[in-house]
Chains A and B, each alone.
Chain A
C-alpha cells in the first residue's frame, strides 16, 4: 500500500538552456541602459519630460508589478487564513513570485526616482496626506514581510545540511543551531506576518489607485474616478489567481514537470466571480458617471479602454465560466494570460495612456532605453525565479510514500 503526498523540493533540472541564455542577453541589455541612466540622468535614456513626468517605468515596473504580484496575498489568504490545505502546493510558488515581484518593484522605483540615494527618506519624512507616501511605506513593510514569510523555505533547505567550506566549517554546528531556533520562532509567529501581509496588500493595492485621483482633469474621464482605489483593489484580487496559474503552467512546461491541473482548475473556478465583481463596479461606475459617451470618440483612449475591458475582463470572464476551459490546460492558460494582460494594460492605461497634461505639445511613447530596462527587469525576475526553484524547496512534487510497517502508530511517522 502506498500513497502520494505533495512536498516542496528543489527541482532537479539544468539551469542553462537556449531560452535562459536569451533572457540573460535581454537582462544585460537592460543593465547597459541603466548605466546610462545613472551616469547621465533620467533624460538621457527616457522620453520623459516636464509634460510627462511618469512613463513606462512607473506604469509597468511599479504599478503593474505590484498588481501582478497580488498572487502572493490572495493565495496566502486562501491557503493560510481560510486554511484550505488543498492549495498548499501553490502557496510557495505564489509567495516566491510576490517576493521577487516586489523586489523588482522596489528596483523600478529606485531607478525612476531622480535622487535614488534618498529612497529611504519616506521612512523618516512623513506626509500622511500623500497617497504615494502610503504606497511607499506599505510596499517597504510588505517587502520585509514577504522576505520573512520566505525564510522558512531557506531554513528548510539548510537545516541539517549546513556545510561551509574550509575553516568556516567550524561554524557549521552553530549556524545549524541558529537556523533551528529561527525556524521554531518563525513557525510560532508566522501567522502574525501572514495576516499583516494581507492587510498591507489590500492597503497599498488600493492606494495605488488613489495615486492618480489627484491628477484630476489631466486624466481621461474613462479612467479618472473617485472609486479608482476600489477598482485597483478588485482588479488586483482578480489577477492574483490567474497569475499563479499562468506562472505555474509556464514553470511546469519549462522544467518538464506534470502541471498541477486539479489544484489549478479549482483555483480557476474562483476567478469568474472575482472578475465579475470587478466588471460590475467598472461598468456601474461608467453608467453613474456617464462616461460611456467617450467610447463614441474614435481615439487612442477609447481603443485602449475597449481592448482592456473586452480582452482583459469580459472574454476571460466568459471563458472561466466554462467547465471545459477549467479542465483544459491550454484554454486555462489562455484565459489566465488574458486576465494578466488585461491588468497590465489597465495599469499602463491609468498611468500613461489616460494622462494628458494641459499644455502638451507632443505625446509620450517610451524610448528604447525605457523598454530595454523594463524588459530587462522582467528577464532578471524570471532568471532569479528559475535559480531559486532549482535550489530551494518551492515547487511541490508528488512523492510516493510506502509505509514501512504494517501498522501505523499514532505520533510516529
Chain B
C-alpha cells in the first residue's frame, strides 16, 4: 500500500511540475511598459499659467465630454475651491493665492502624470493599463473589471471611476491625447494654451529646458523640477515659484511606486520555485508522517 501510494505520489508530483512549467511557458507577457529614450512629456510652467482654464475646455472637447461654451470658462469663481480630475473633467486648474499683498496667484493644472514606472500598470489585475513608447499611460476598456485597485495604487490620486453607472462603468483619466499625438497633433490642452505655459516635447529635452530656465531665472523658480525624479520620474513635469508641497503636490520619494510590491511578488514566485518547493516539502512531510503511523500500528500488533 505505502509503496503504491509513494509511486502515485511521485507520478502526480511530476505531473504537477509539468503543468507548472507548461503554465509559465504559455504565460502571456504582462502589460506593456516601454521606456523609450524618445518618450514625450509636458513641462508645465506654473509661473506662466494665468488660470484661463482653456485647457479644461479643450480636454473635454477632445474627449467627447460635456464641455459647454469656452466663454463660460472665463468665470473665475470656480477657482475659489480646489478640485480634482474626475469623470467629468480629466484635467482641472487650481489656483493658490497667498494673502492680499502677494503679487500673483499661482495656477496649477492637474492631470495624470504619466509616470515612467506607473503604479496603475503594475497593479491592474488584468493588465488593462499600458505604458506606451511615447510615454502615454492608457487604459483599456475591453479588459478592465472595475476593481479600482489602480485608484488605490496611484500615488497622485488620479484615476476616477463612474460610481453611478450600473453597466460598463469606466475608469477615467488623462490619456495624453493618445489618438491626437498618433496623428502628429499636439495634446488638446497644449494646443490651446494661449500663454505657452505647457511645453510638449521629448522628456529628456524638457528636463534640460527646465533646469536651464531655473538657472537663468533663479529668483523666479524654486530649484526643483517636480516629476523629474518623483516616483522614478513622470512624463508631466512642473516648475513653480513656491515649494511644491504648498501647491498641494504630494511629497514622494524617488523610488518607483511599484518597486517594493513587485520585488515581493517576484520573490514569492521566482519561477514558481518557492511554491513548488513548498508543495514538495509538504508532500514529504505527509508521506513521512503516514509511514511513521503505519510503522506504529505494525509495532502495536
Binding site for B on A (CB under 8 A): 37-44, 46, 48-51, 53-54, 77, 80-83, 85, 109, 112-116, 118-119, 121-122, 125-134, 136, 188-189, 191-192, 194-196, 198-199, 202-203, 206-207, 210-218, 226, 229, 355, 357-359
Contacts and interface: CB of A to CB of B under 8 A. Distances in A.
Contacts of B292: 83
Contact of A203 (B125, B161, B268): B268
Interface string B134-148: 000000000111111
B244 interface: no
B147 A132 contact: yes
Given A42-B163, A121-B125, 16 more contacts: A54-B148, A85-B293, A114-B161, A114-B162, A114-B169, A125-B126, A127-B30, A128-B30, A130-B122, A132-B125, A195-B279, A210-B264, A211-B149, A214-B258, A358-B157, A359-B84
Contacts of B28: 125-126
Contacts of B260: 213-214, 216, 226
Contacts of B119: 214
B252 interface: yes
B156 A358 contact: yes
Interface in B244-266: 248, 250-252, 257-258, 260-262, 264-266
Nearest to A200: B275
A358 B146 contact: no
Interface of B: 5, 8-9, 12, 16, 27-28, 30-31, 82, 84, 86, 119, 121-128, 143-149, 151-153, 155-157, 159-166, 168-169, 248, 250-252, 257-258, 260-262, 264-266, 268-269, 275, 278-279, 282-283, 285-286, 289-290, 292-293
B145 A207 contact: no
Contacts of A122: 125-126, 145
A355 B265 contact: no
Nearest to B274: A203
7 contacts: A50-B159, A83-B289, A127-B126, A136-B125, A195-B286, A226-B260, A358-B155
A50 B161 contact: yes
Contacts of A357: 157
B31 A83 contact: no
A191 B286 CA distance: 9
A295 B165 CA distance: 41
A129 B161 contact: no
A248 B247 CA distance: 56
A195 B283 contact: yes
